[in-house]
């Protein structure tokens, strides 16, 4: 049964505050559940909860006692607490014209009493309510009202702390990603070999799959730097990263090994023929000259290819073998791919 609830003028700002919680309110949290359990004992009630009201739903951030499912915000009494931003006490729900026929009053869990206080973030905007419900009508003293407000204040502080921890975690992940990212090409740098590549390789081998590796070297890149300067060389590398991305799948991992050298790790590569096919597309992408500031420069590729576990089951072995194949590609005339074989070792 829908309620006649006034939507506040600051609803847009309030919803932004709700969204800032991100994953905090996506599922009940232990700390808020413990707080709800404490409130349930203090108020001697069968149910206590901290609920978050978003665009459409009442989300449960923590509850104790009866197990209540999430519901639409139109069905939630907490919505009124949030929208009015003030304590709400309803001694007998059967005496409330808008609620006496509500399913949660007429049917299980047969609630008759409700009290809720706003839960707010640091900007003061209410995002939810700390509520207690009982299956019998009851009066709520002024001291009990003050206690519920204090519980709501503690819940607000916990939400703010959890939000801060979430943002710190995101920042830490961003810093970790930045530490593994080459600033020029935006590919991974060598520090990603252990933290990302080793895990992907181990997963592929454990599942009995293949794991392809390509070693790329841009032919003539040193002469570009010597002739046109490092600024032009950097522009060529940036354009080279665009060309490489245009050929690869989303799951392929590219590492700038240094200078004009790249390694491409290909999870779930079916066989060496697939690696050769990918290499041919890369070679084709680099046969068009680079146009940098009116200067046309040519920097084609030489590529070595290897496939785990046939050509090695560890990153170190694979890189050694794929580099051996790369040297053979260069020796055979460049602008080509060479697949590792035992003679390269």
pLDDT reading at 117 higher than 90: yes
Among 126-135, 192-201, 324-333, the minimum mean pLDDT is found in: 192-201
Q: Please name the residues in contact with 300: beta carbons below 8 A apart, sequence gap of 6 or more.
A: 218, 219, 220, 283, 286, 287, 334, 335
CATH 3.30.70.270 boundaries in the chain? 189-337
* Residue 184 φ/ψ, nearest 5 degrees: -85, -50
Task: Tell me the helices (H) and strands (E) count for the chain, helix number first.
Answer: 11, 13
Range(s) of the chain covered by CATH 3.30.450.40: 8-175
Residue range 8-175 in CATH 3.30.450.40: yes
What is the rounded CA–CA span in Å between residue 201 and residue 208? 11
Render pLDDT for 158-215 as a digit per residue (tens, 0 to 9).
Answer: 988 887 776 666 556 665 667 788 888 989 988 889 888 999 999 999 999 999 999 9
pTM: 0.54
Please provide the average confidence, as pLDDT, over all residues in the chain: 88
User: For position 91, what pLDDT does the model report?
Assistant: 96
- For the chain, strand residue ranges (E) read 47-53, 57-65, 71-72, 88-90, 113-120, 126-134, 211-218, 253-258, 261-267, 290-292, 295-297, 301-308, 337-339
List C-alpha distances in Å: 211 to 21, 201, 252, 308, 310: 39, 6, 10, 5, 9
Give the model confidence (pLDDT) of 134-148 as tens digits.
999 999 999 999 999
Q: Looking at residue 258, what is its pLDDT?
A: 87
CATH topology of domain 189-337: Alpha-Beta Plaits (3.30.70)
User: How distant, in Å, are the alpha carbons of 2, 49, 65, 102, 104 from that of 108?
Assistant: 18, 17, 14, 11, 6
Q: CA 137 to CA 335: how far, in whole Å?
A: 84
């Amino acid at each position: 049964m829908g309620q006649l609830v006034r939507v506040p003028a600051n609803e847009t700002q309030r919803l932004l505050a709700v969204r800032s919680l991100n994953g905090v309110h996506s599922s009940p949290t232990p700390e808020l559940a413990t707080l709800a359990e404490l409130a349930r004992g203090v108020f001697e009630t069968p149910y206590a909860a901290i609920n978050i009201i978003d665009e459409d739903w009442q989300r449960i951030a923590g509850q104790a006692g009866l197990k209540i499912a999430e519901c639409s915000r139109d069905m939630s009494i907490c919505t009124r607490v949030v929208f009015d931003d003030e304590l709400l006490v309803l001694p007998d729900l059967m005496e409330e014209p808008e609620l006496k026929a509500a399913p949660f009053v007429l049917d299980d869990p047969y609630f008759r009493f409700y009290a809720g206080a706003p839960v707010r973030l640091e900007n003061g905007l209410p995002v939810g309510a700390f509520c207690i419900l009982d299956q019998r009508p009851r009066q709520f003293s002024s001291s009990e009202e003050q206690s519920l407000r204090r519980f709501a204040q503690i819940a607000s502080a916990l939400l703010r702390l959890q939000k801060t921890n979430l943002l710190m975690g995101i920042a830490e992940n961003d810093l970790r990603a930045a530490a593994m990212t080459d600033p020029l090409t935006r590919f991974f740098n060598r520090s990603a070999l252990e933290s990302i590549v080793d895990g992907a390789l181990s997963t592929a081998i454990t599942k009995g799959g293949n794991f392809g590796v390509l070693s790329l070297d841009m032919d003539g890149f040193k002469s570009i730097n010597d002739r046109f300067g490092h600024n032009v060389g950097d522009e060529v590398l940036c354009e080279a990263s665009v060309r490489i991305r245009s050929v690869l799948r989303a799951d392929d991992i590219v590492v700038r090994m240094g200078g004009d050298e790249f390694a491409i790790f290909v999870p779930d590569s079916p066989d060496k023929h697939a690696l050769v096919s990918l290499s041919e597309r890369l070679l084709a992408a680099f046969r068009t000259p680079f146009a940098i500031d009116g200067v046309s420069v040519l920097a084609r590729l030489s590529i070595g290819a290897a496939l785990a576990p046939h050509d090695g089951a560890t990153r170190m072995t694979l890189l050694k073998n794929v580099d051996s194949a790369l040297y053979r590609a260069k020796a055979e005339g460049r602008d080509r791919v060479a697949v590792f074989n035992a003679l390269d070792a």
